[in-house]
Amino acid sequence: MPISYHSSSKTFHLYNSHISYIMMVLPNGHLGHLYFGKALHDRESFEHLLELRNRSMAVCTFEGDLSFSLEHLLQEYPCFGSGDMREPAFDISMDNGSHISDFRYASHIIKEGKPPLPDLPHTFVDHDHQAYTLEITLKDTIMHTTMILSYTLFEQLPIITRHVCFKHEGNSPITLHKAMSLNLDLPDSHYELVELTGAWARERHVKVRPLEHGITAFGSKRGHSSSNFNPFMMLKRPHTTEISGEAIGISFVYSGNFLAQVEVDTYDVSRISIGIHPQNFSWTLEKNDSFTTPEAILAYSDQGLNHLSQQFHTLFLNHLSPKKWRNRPAPILVNNWEGTYFDFNEERIIDMAKTAKSLGIELFVLDDGWFGHRDDDTTSLGDWYPYLKKLPHGLKSLACKIKALGLDFGLWIEPEMISKDSDLYRRHPEMMLHTPQRHDSHGRNQYILDFSNPLVVDTIYHMLENTFKDVPIDYIKWDMNRSMSEVYSTALPAHQQGQVMHRYILGVYHLYERLIQRFPHILFESCSSGGARFDPGMFYYAPQAWTSDDTDAIERLKIQYGTSFAYPIRFMGSHVSASPNHQLHRFTPLKTRGDVAYFGTFGYELDVNQLSDEEKTIVIQQIEWMKEHRSLIQYGTFYRLSSPFEQDTCAWMVVSKDQNDAIVGYYRPLNKINSAYTRLPLLGLDPDKLYGINQTYHYGDELMHYGLITSDESSGLCEHEDPSYDYYSKIYVLKAKSLI
């Protein structure tokens, strides 16, 4: 059993061949943190790792003992008000107004496997032996409340998942004002923080900054995880690179408001925490009520950032994403949105589908505008029935005609939103999130349904179920196009208004769960203005997400590169769009657009009938190539090679599990004249295997240590066979010689 409890020293040790996580019961009954990092030998006692020091002016716990102060100890789940002046992991108030708590160790359970989290997305295992779980129970006897800290260690991964459950048994209510899912105290601050920041159309750009005294924090108060900040961070040593050095990764399996922060005290101790954002959050627990936080993921690497990212990729693909779609390559699709926007009818859609089929496309997706009386974005959200002016024979007829062509059929929905110009709003204006007597702000001319109210979720479910049940739908693109404002639920009393945003996300998860149970054959893709809810919570239900509304190939280099720090390629919706691009109006070669989009789910976001014959030939070749290589691309081991945030090129690659096959994507946005020698060292190959590439053969060690020669790709001249140009790209396919 890779979780040990040593009763003589009251220490816990979670360990496998990769990592160790060590904590102990402190003399005051609280849990102290001792170590997290590379695997250590187990031993009966780790008490020597607990550092007690006399510090002047510290608030001390025991009369006459000047060495034991919570202010100067590493802790597992710290409280506030008993000597520790740093940020607490939780905050609870009693009915007398006190915020003081004292949760002391009571018991623990160690078990094989990983229990599910009811009503919340979570990682899972297929077999109990793949993970082991430790549940530590602490009790506050004055508050009559139990706290259960849960830790799950994955047997083959350097990963531990965390969550907390509060159970109240007292007669008087208590209120949770803050409940982080994870706290990690580290003994020094010699780290750089890596986060994924941005905005709509430039999501998940890589930002690196050193830790300083005080609090470094980011998060979302928008009601969703947001395009601006992703619920993910890395802490890396300053010398850590993509291929060497120590790093810690933290991710949050949640799609709503979140807070991620690192506090460095004046003794250089770093306190990391992640969880539901406490702003406008409060949760009252009556007797026998409980509250469970969402799951947080903690990972470690001593082999650089690529290795750390790969651990998250493995976890998400095998232990988070829906089992039904595991190891299934994404279908190659065309979406009509940028091709038609709202301007379409059945005839035009069928004509596009016929052309799509002739090109080799597998799935046709009908986007916004098929329902209610929707000709623009001011109307009809909430009216989920066919717009007969556009589809005079109904949705089923259109879907059947597309299926008869040999294509699968997909559909766009935005079920969480409502238009004031809709039948649903006219019947039920109370279903909209709004604050009484206050102005209602809109976003994209739309408003938000109160998904904290189960009646609203039930109403939308039955409307969608009634629309879908007779239509042969294979795929749903689930959009969500605005942040929350004027958050108030008329279905909840005043003292529960702090629960609305969390209950809303639980309502979204519940609707996903019901639709998946009712229509298990449908592949769901999450889309929130592109990448505004690109988080692990969504991937529990939908195995792919639209990575960004920005379809420009050059901008996508940074977006997809940054996204790969946390998320696997299989999750990234990436399409070839028209040129000039609809967001940046940039002209890029069709080849380059394809070479970027390959590293994702791959598809097209344009009107295929507007392609020239030459372009159609290229598209046919792209689709044939992707069908041949998509399993490797979407499920191989991914490596970042050259960062577009640091250099004037971008490169990445995927390698098969047996190291026999690899594909490299190389991109150079701007051309050069008479450039210097340039080489691209590869990663992940077998040094002893001979790889064929461009009719030549190279040993793996040569390709990794000397590298691919890329000088000839940026000469500025056009005499050679593969002339260079601005927005240049090249794909290299490597095969071990015995397979050629």
Active site residues per annotation: 479, 549
In sequence order, the 6+-apart residues with CB closer than 8 A to the CB of 250 are 182, 184, 232, 233, 234, 235, 260, 272, 274, 296, 297, 298, 299
- Sign (positive/negative) of CA torsion 62, 66, 67, 73? positive
| Spatial distance between the Cα atoms of 429 and 514, rounded to a whole number of angstroms | 24
List of long-range contacts for 445-448, beta carbons under 8 Å, 24+ apart: 445/377, 445/378, 445/419, 446/377, 446/381, 446/414, 446/417, 446/418, 446/419, 446/481, 446/482, 447/417, 447/418, 447/419, 447/420, 448/223, 448/416, 448/417, 448/418, 448/482, 448/484
Q: How is residue 624 annotated by DSSP?
A: H
Backbone angles phi, psi at 659, to 5 degrees: 65, 25
Cα separation, 305 vs 234, whole angstroms:
9
Query: How far is the C-alpha of 35 from the C-alpha of 482, rounded, in Å?
Result: 42
Please provide residue 599's backbone torsions phi and psi, each rounded to the nearest 5 degrees.
-90, 70
Q: For residues 432-460, b (16+ Cβ closer than 10 Å) or e, as one string?
A: bbbeeeeeeeeeeebbbbbbbbeebbebb
Contact 24, 31 (CB under 8 A): yes
CA dist., res. 413 & res. 213, Å (int):
46
3-class secondary structure per residue, 651-698: EEEEECCCCCEEEEEEEECCCCCCCCCCEECCCCCCCCCEEEECCEEE
Count the alpha carbons within 13 Å of 569 in the hemisphere toward its beta carbon. 28
**Dihedral-angle region of residue 68 (phi above 0 means left; psi in -120 to 50 means alpha; beta otherwise):** beta
CA dist list (Å): 397 to 338, 346, 367, 372, 388? 23, 10, 16, 17, 11
- The Cα 563–Cα 203 span in angstroms is 8
The 3-state DSSP composition of the chain as helix, strand, coil percent (nearest 5) reads 25, 30, 45
Q: Rounded distance, CA 559 to CA 652, Å?
A: 13
